[in-house]
Amino acid sequence: MNERILVVEDEKSIAKILKIELEYEGYEVIAANDGRTGFQLALEGNFDLILLDVMLPELNGMEVLRKIRKENDMIPIILLTARNMTMDKVAGLDLGANDYITKPFEMEELLARVRSSLRQSAVSTSALKAEEEILTIKDIMVNPQTREVERGGKPISLTPKEFDFLVYLLANKNRIVTRDNIINNVWGYEYIGETNVIDVYIRHLRKKLEEDFSDSQIIHTVRGVGYIIKES
C-alpha cells in the first residue's frame, strides 16, 4: 500500500502542485484548503505524514498542529512557513512539528524532507516494537514502548522529536555524539535544514529535564564537538 500524505494548504495552486508532484513519487495524496477540514481529515484518514501550512483559514496551522498532537503524537508533520518567520518555526517545533520548510521552496528539497520524515517514522516505529528495555539515567526513566518520560517520578511532556532526540542520547549514554551524528540519526541522512535546530532542541530538553531539580545537569556540551548525556 502506498504511503498516504495529507496536504493542508489554502493556496489551491500550491496544493495542486504538491499533490501532482507527490503522486508522481508514488504517494497517495489528499488535499484540504482550510484548517478545520484538514484537522478532521487528519483524525479520520490514517495518514503517514502531514504537510501543514501555517497560515490557514478557519483554523490556523498552529492550532491544527496543537489539536492533532493531542490525538496523535506519532505522525510526522512538516510545517510550511513564510520566509523569515522564525517565531512560527520555533512555536511549531514546541508544539510537536517534526520539521519545517520555508516558502518559496524547491520541490526537490521538500521531497527530500518528506522521504526523511517517513523513513525516520518507520525507524522509530520499528525501534519501539523491538525495544522493551526501560532507559534510565540518574532519576530519569524513559519507556520507549509508551513514550513516557519521568524524572523523580514526575511526568515530563516531550514532543515526538524531543523524545526521539532523548532516546538517541540515552542509547549513547556516556559517549560523545557529534552534531552530524545527531542530524543523521534523529533527523535523517537527507535532512538539509538549518543545523541550529539541534541547539533549539537541546535548550528545550534541558529546560524540561533539568529545571526544578537540584541535581539538574544531565546533558553536557562538549565545545566544538557535540553533546554527551552522562551519570555524573
Summarize pLDDT for 214-223 with one digit per residue, the tens.
556 788 888 8
Looking at residue 38, its pLDDT comes to 95
Looking at residue 71, its pLDDT comes to 85
User: What is the C-alpha to C-alpha distance for residues 39 and 60, in angstroms, rounded to an integer?
Assistant: 10
Q: Is 77 left (phi over 0), alpha (psi -120 to 50) or beta?
A: beta
CATH no., domain 132-229? 1.10.10.10
Residues of the chain with pLDDT under 70: 1, 83-86, 121-132, 188-195, 212-216, 232
Block residue for cell numbers 532507559: 135
Same fold, 4-125 and 132-229: no
The fold of 4-125 is Rossmann fold (3.40.50)
Q: CA–CA distance from 125 to each of 22, 50, 169, 190 (Å)?
A: 23, 17, 18, 19
State the DSSP H helix or E strand holding residue 149, giving kind and residue range, or none if neither.
Answer: strand 148-151
Contact 22, 44 (CB under 8 A): no
Interval 124-165: pLDDT, tens: 555 554 455 788 888 889 988 788 899 888 899 998 888 888
Question: Would you kindly state where each structural domain of the chain is located, as residue ranges?
Answer: 4-125, 132-229
